[in-house]
Chains A and B, each alone.
Chain A
Amino acid sequence: MKDAIAKLRGELRGDSAFFRHAVRSAFAVVAAIAAAHLLNLHHGIWLPITVVVIMRPSLGGTIRHGWRRVLGTIIGAGVGIGLLITAGAHPHVLISLALLLFLVTFFLKQHNYTLFVVALTATVVIILGLTMPMGWKMGLVRIVDTLIGAVIGLGAAFFIWPQKARASLKKQNHDTLIAFEDHLGLLSSAYLTGQAREGEIIRTRIHVIDTLTKCEEVFFEASAEPGIRTEQRQALSRLLRIFFRILDLLTSLSTIIRRAGGTVLPVLSEGTEKLLTSTRAEITWLAAYALNLGDLDPRPPRTAIPEFLETIRILRASGEFEDLPLARRNNISAFIWNIRALGEELDMAYERIVELRYGRKSRNKVF
């Protein structure tokens, strides 16, 4: 309890995102209640309810959620009105349908918000349509009230301390890349020492997935905000896909490392360490670049992979690998393939970040 109070007090300040969101939302709810009274709306309670459910900390989040709420309400009310008009003479059928829809509502809640609202609205419209004198017209009331509520919520999101998701894109990119670097650091240490710390590896992998999921959410919210062009949305989406491919490559690397069967061969030890260190340095640099830090060193040169491949070629020609078991040789090949592919993905990530920052023709800055 003490911790909770300390946390709440810690955020009770004007520059806190939580505080601003709470103030913004509270104003919107009050405005909705006032509007319902001023307009003397039938079922005016739906106005503040709409505001409560659509308000999100970021502008993009509120736009996305508001749009899905409005769309779901229009479709759901349409379904409810349709059923009331066509099957109004058979209330027991409608009650059964409403019950079924209510169960479906919970079923859909976790997976698709629009469909969830469709099912919920249809249920509410059927029940109220059967019990209220207005009948099917309750569906129209629901649509109008939801639209007004959504407009009030969006207005608050636009004008009271607007918090754009795109403002945190740089940080999300940075955090994701740093999570990749942490995970690769642990994998590198496991590969070089021949001791995979399974629990630690899974822990950092989960952290990577969590960070990436958050990054994906912010990308979607930023994409919904006004001022972002189609090509920039596409660039964001491409960068996200690259991040997911990097995650797959790291996943693949961890399997290879787990089955490496001992420490790195002494003849390859130095080159491998250099290769892994340079890949990590590249990710760290890219993370700093994504955050747009000033006074950055130039991008590290990509020389480690060609050098390592050359070493391998010389060693192979001199018959250094002849006595190695085939599985071990192929494990080394798989490692090289993956680390090379990782380098290529980092190149593409760099291109996308440059594109987002300067636009394809050095314009349309997103961050």
Chain B
Amino acid sequence: MHHLIRGFYKKIIHPVDPAFFMTGYAVKAVLACVVALFVGLGLQVPTGRLQWGVFGAFIVMLSRAGDSYQERKRVALRVIFISALLVPLSTLVGNTDFLREAYVFLLAFFAFFCAVLGLPAMITGLGILLLNLFALGDPDTLSAGGNRALLVMMGGVLAYAVNFFILPVYPRKILGKAGRSALTDLGDYFTAVAARIEEKHAPEDVEKLQDRARKSVRRYREIMEAMNMDPMAGLDRDQGPTALYATLVRILTAVINLNQNSRFDKESPLYDGVRQAFAAMAADATLFFERLAQNQSGGEPLDPAPMNRAVDQLENRLLELGAYKRGDAVSEEFLEIWGIVHALRNLAQELETMIDLRIGEGV
């Protein structure tokens, strides 16, 4: 990718939606609605009724409930079935004043009460409610309602086909993207922490990036949950999506730990002695993060040796200064800076674990 586009992507788009998950889904939703519209036109459905096919497609795309792929398919079919049943009734009931209000009360009560079964069930319930509100708002005869129901079914079935057969979701591909974006965010967070240690960044940047990295790791988990993979099961494994999740959490932990150790006196002469070695290590680790993120989709295995050597050099440089033998005050400063070395060593170990990790295996 051209560096200008890449920069734009990293700064503007990536913080908001790293892998365009939702936008991709939106394109699919638009496509499903457009297909429903064109099929309706092809079947010579009168212009005033075309929207019901689109409503059917939209309601199916909106109902993303279900822990697994199979469950989602079942939910989509249920939504089509319930909508087709209720739309004629709503169309007819809309004609009678008090009956309409009583009917809406019951419908709305059940739609909101679905929240007991979880957020996805509630969204589905509210989607069905909205569809029926449209029918109630434009009352007609039962046969007109039946026509609408047929169109809703047609749109729903077309959306079902687009969503599950024509453009299906590949869980590991999405998880791979989410893992890569989480690693990129962790890399950015690490770079900011390293810069804070070198006093280049204001602390606010670090907090913002920490939050972003945390959310990114969390999103990876949410995607797993949405695909019926238990992120908690098999956290001790060394391959597969759960292993990647555990490693991402540990890398985040390691960078937070480094951040916790970054609040020492930057004017200390002791720090001056290791500043250069630290900068070299930080540059190596930043590069490693980038290559690790790129490498998630395959490629030459990375060599962790240069990064480990850089930590060794930093550690040796600090020890050469012999501060821990020079009285309490200097010894205290030494301990504070040693905290960074300790944290970097942890991070290097976690990154090394990441090298051989692939989500295509295990689970």
State whether A254 touches B246 (Cβ < 8 A): no
Taking a contact as CB atoms closer than 8 A, the residue among B101, B129, B218, B254 that contacts A209 in the complex is B218
Residue of B nearest to A33 (CB): B104
Chain A contacts for B39, CB-based, 8 A: none
Which residues of B lie under 8 Å from residue A259 when comparing CB positions? 342, 345-346
CA distance A199 to B335 in the complex (A): 30
Task: Determine if A235 is an interface residue (Cβ-Cβ < 8 Å).
Answer: no
What distance in Å separates the Cβ of A323 from its nearest Cβ neighbour in chain B?
A: 15
Q: Which residue of A lies closest to B319 (CB)?
A: A326
Q: Which of A44, A102, A103, A334 contacts B342 (CB 8 A)?
A: A334
CA distance A18 to B97 in the complex (A): 28
Report if B130 contacts A (CB, 8 A): yes
Query: Could you tell me if B109 and A23 are in contact, using CB atoms closer than 8 angstroms?
Result: yes
A11 within 8 A of B: yes
Contact segment of B16-24, B165-173, B179-187, B299-307: B16-24
Interface check A249, CB cutoff 8 A? yes
Determine whether B256 belongs to the interface, using a CB cutoff of 8 Å to chain A.
yes
Q: Are B108 and A255 in contact (CB under 8 A)?
A: no
Q: How far is the CA of A49 from the CA of B29 in the complex (A)?
A: 20
Of A4, A27, A106, A209, which is within 8 A of B105 by CB?
A: A27
Shortest Cβ distance from residue A72 to the other chain B in the assembled complex, whole angstroms: 17
A106 touches B342 (CB 8 A): no
A326 partner residues in chain B, CB cutoff 8 A: 319, 324, 338
Q: Would A255 and B254 count as touching, CB distance under 8 A?
A: yes
Roughly how many angstroms separate A255 CA and B58 CA in the complex, as a whole number?
A: 47
Residues of B near A255 (CB, < 8 A) are: 253-254, 257, 343, 346
Interface contact A199-B236, CB-CB below 8 Å: yes
Number of interface residues of B (CB under 8 A): 59
The smallest beta-carbon distance between A156 and chain B, in angstroms, is 11
Stretch at the interface among A107-115, A168-176, A294-302, A359-367: A107-115
| Stretch of B133-141, B193-201, B280-288, B355-363 on the interface side | B133-141
User: Which residues on the B side are within 8 Å of A92 (C-beta)?
Assistant: none
Are B260 and A252 in contact, with the CB atoms below 8 A? yes
A8 CB–B CB distance under 8 Å: yes
On chain A, the residues within 8 Å of B254 by CB distance are 255
**Distance in angstroms between the alpha carbons of A29 and B137 in the assembled complex:** 13
A334 to B116, CA, bound (A): 45
Chain B residues closer than 8 Å to A110, beta-carbon distance: 17, 22
A18 nearest CB across to chain B (Å):
5
In the complex, chain B residues whose CB is within 8 Å of the CB of A62: none
Judge whether B109 and A26 touch: CB under 8 Å.
yes
B203–chain A nearest beta-carbon distance, Å = 13
Let me know if A30 and B104 touch, CB within 8 A: yes
CA distance A256 to B256 in the complex (A): 12
**Is there an interface contact between B108 and A26, defined as CB atoms closer than 8 Å?**
yes
Q: How far is the CB of A344 from chain B (nearest CB, A)?
A: 13
Known: A44-B137, A106-B23. A18 touches B30 (CB 8 A): no
Asked if residues B260 and A338 are in contact (CB atoms below 8 Å), the reply is yes
- Mask, B105-132, CB within 8 Å of A = 1, is 1101111110111000000001001100
Task: Report whether B23 and A107 are in contact in the complex, using a CB–CB cutoff of 8 Å.
Answer: yes
Is there a chain B Cβ closer than 8 Å to A351's Cβ? no
Knowing A33-B136, A106-B22 touch, does A205 contact B249 (C-beta < 8 A)?
Answer: yes
Measured between beta carbons, the chain A residues less than 8 angstroms from B111 are 52
Indicate if A202 sits at the interface (CB-CB under 8 A): yes
B232 at the interface (CB under 8 A from A): yes
Q: Is A129 an interface residue (CB 8 A)?
A: no
Known contacts A45-B137, A102-B26, A106-B26; decide if A198 and B218 are in contact (CB<8 Å): no
Does B339 sit at the interface, judged by CB under 8 A? yes
Q: Is A330 an interface residue (CB 8 A)?
A: yes
Q: Which of A11, A45, A107, A202 contacts B246 (CB 8 A)?
A: A202
Asked if A26 and B16 sit within 8 Å, CB to CB, the answer is no
Decide: A330 near B101, CB < 8 A? Known: A26-B112, A107-B17.
Answer: no
Say yes or no: is A320 at the interface (Cβ < 8 Å to chain B): no
Query: In the complex, which residues of chain A have a beta carbon less than 8 angstroms from the beta carbon of B22?
Result: 106-107, 109-110
Interface membership of B330, Cβ < 8 A: no
A80, B343: Cα distance in complex, Å: 52
Instruction: Determine the chain B residues whose CB is within 8 A of the CB of A209 once the complex forms.
Output: 214, 218
Q: Across the interface, do B249 and A8 meet the contact criterion of CB distance under 8 Å? A: no
Residues of A within 8 A of B232 (CB): 199, 203, 206
Lowest 3 A-B CB distances belong to which pairs? Answer: A106-B26, A199-B235, A22-B113
In the assembled complex, 17 residue pairs joining A and B whose CB atoms fall closer than 8 Å, in A order, are A12-B113, A25-B108, A26-B112, A29-B133, A33-B101, A36-B137, A52-B130, A57-B115, A102-B30, A103-B30, A106-B26, A107-B20, A202-B249, A252-B260, A255-B257, A330-B339, A338-B260
Q: List 9 extra interface pairs beyond A10-B116, A29-B108, A52-B126, CB under 8 A.
A: A8-B116, A11-B113, A18-B116, A19-B113, A49-B133, A99-B30, A103-B30, A255-B254, A330-B339
